[in-house]
Structure 1
Amino acid sequence: MKNKIIPLLIFLLTTTSLYSVFAQNDEYYRPDSLRKEKNRVVPAPQDEPVVMKKDSIERKKRLADFQDRPFIDRVRLGGSFGLSFGTVTNVNLSPMAGYELTEKLVAGVGVTGMYFRSRYYDINDFYYGGRAFMMYQLFPMVNVIGEFEGMNVIGSYQKRQWLGSPLIGAAYSQPIGGRFIKYAHLTILYNLNYNNQIDQYSGQNLSPYSSPFVFRVTFL
């Protein structure tokens, strides 16, 4: 009986050893990528924060709603006016039209009529001109504005001439809910060309504004 058991045990040990050797050789010759793939731990996907996901969805919805607006719903109509009294009297009115290029950017044009009177230079006349502007909503109630205004004014010897005024500034804006007149803007602008608008004969500044700062109330 013992003679039968001993060969059986030797056979089992030999078979087990050979299996182990072949298994190790198989792992050894397996490509590195497969061995790493076998042992790699795939991290669980992390969900995007709920607040960021909600904001992204709302931005995309607003953009889609804006792009779907018909042309007429992106048009703005209105105007601006300004007043100053004293040695120089300036009463101006400017109808304006704008178009919403994006949710925050509006471009437009306007024409200006102005009653101008200067006691010092004995001028009592009507000035006229036009403007082109761009207005960008920096914050919900703050817009930055860039504008170019051309005005036909009176210089020496009652000769009329054109003045070009690049203006930059900002506006405090409040929504008023109209279809075409959507905001009321309290605007302050600075005339970058003010100090160059000097009459060559009299030496007076031909700008119809008494300083480089221009104040307006605009509805657009």
Structure 2
Amino acid sequence: MKKMILVILLSFFSSVVFAQVEGVEVEKPQEEKKEEDKKETKDDDDDEEEMRLIDRFYFGGNVGANFGTITFINVAPMVGFRITPRFSVGVGGTYQYWSDKRFTPTYKQSIYGGSLFSRYMIAEDFLGAGNLFAHAEYENLFAKQPFQDPNTGLITEKTKSFPSFFIGGGLAIPIGSRSAFTISALYNPFYDEFNSLYASPLQIRVGGFF
């Protein structure tokens, strides 16, 4: 009888110990951990590589025009490159044509320049209107300015540069799988009315990309 009780007790304790061992998570070997970390890193890289190189580029720009006594035409194409699905950088070009009939003869001038920009998508489908993005841009335009020679007194024209730095944001309203209509408001915190081609530090732009 005593032997039977002893066997039962030993069997009971063995079951308890075995159950406890089964419930303990055994630490994985270091090499196995490294392999899993590599796999996770590879999965993250694959997510980035899912966007093909050609899909990282997008093209677009802004356009604007005003006709009348003062005619103004603005064409500003740009090329962007998506570093991540949300963050992109790019370059742009600008051509502006001015014609002012208040002068005799009519004053005409072509303005040209370029820009570097970065853009970050803050939120998708913001308030149901479109994708909200932040935008920062450095622009440098070149235009002719009257210059009086101090020696001869003659007035000539010299080409001068007009740099600007804009920060702001806007909405990209999708009109296709890769295309969108954009409207943005940009502000130049370093605006100088005596050294700028813009009448205001705030600029509203309308354009798009594809």
Give the TM-score band, short-chain normalised: 0.5 to 0.7
Correspondence for 2:187? 190
Counterpart check, 1:104 vs 2:86? yes
Deviation at 1:125, TM superposition (A): 0.6
Correspondence for 1:216? 205
Correspondence for 1:137? 121
Correspondence for 1:69? 51
Instruction: Call closer, same or farther: CA 1:190–1:155 in 2, change over 3 Å.
Output: same
- Whole-Å Cα distance in 1 between the matches of residues 88 and 102 of structure 2? 39
User: Of the candidates 116, 131, 140, which is equivalent to residue 150 of structure 1?
Assistant: 140
Instruction: Call closer, same or farther: CA 1:150–1:120 in 2, change over 3 Å.
Output: farther
Deviation at 1:107, TM superposition (A): 0.7
* Number of equivalenced pairs: 165
- Whole-Å Cα distance in 2 between the matches of residues 62 and 85 of structure 1? 52
Q: Which has the higher helix share?
A: 1
Deviation at 1:89, TM superposition (A): 4.4
Structure 1 residues 70-115: Cα deviation after superposition (integer angstroms, max 9, x where no partner): 2111110112113356776432101111111101011110111001
Q: Which has the higher strand share?
A: 2
Larger radius of gyration: 1
Taking only the aligned residue pairs, the percentage that are identical comes to: 30
- Whole-Å Cα distance in 1 between the matches of residues 173 and 116 of structure 2? 22
Deviation at 1:177, TM superposition (A): 2.0
Correspondence for 2:162? 163
Q: Can you give the 5+ residue segments of structure 2 that lack an aligned partner in the other structure?
A: 1-19, 25-42, 125-130, 148-156
> Is the 8 Å Cα contact of residues 165 and 192 (structure 1) preserved in structure 2?
no
Deviation at 1:124, TM superposition (A): 2.2
Q: State the superposition RMSD in angstroms.
A: 3.8
Deviation at 1:187, TM superposition (A): 1.1
- Amino acid in structure 2 at the alignment position of 1:183: A
> Is the 8 Å Cα contact of residues 188 and 214 (structure 1) preserved in structure 2?
yes
Please give the TM-score of this superposition, normalised by the length of structure 2: 0.63
Structure 1 residues 138-166: Cα deviation after superposition (integer angstroms, max 9, x where no partner): 11121010000110012233321011101
Correspondence for 1:92? 74
Q: Secondary structure at the match of 2:61?
A: strand
Instruction: Call closer, same or farther: CA 1:124–1:84 in 2, change over 3 Å.
Output: same
Correspondence for 2:27? none
Please give the TM-score of this superposition, normalised by the length of structure 1: 0.61
> Is the 8 Å Cα contact of residues 116 and 208 (structure 1) preserved in structure 2?
no
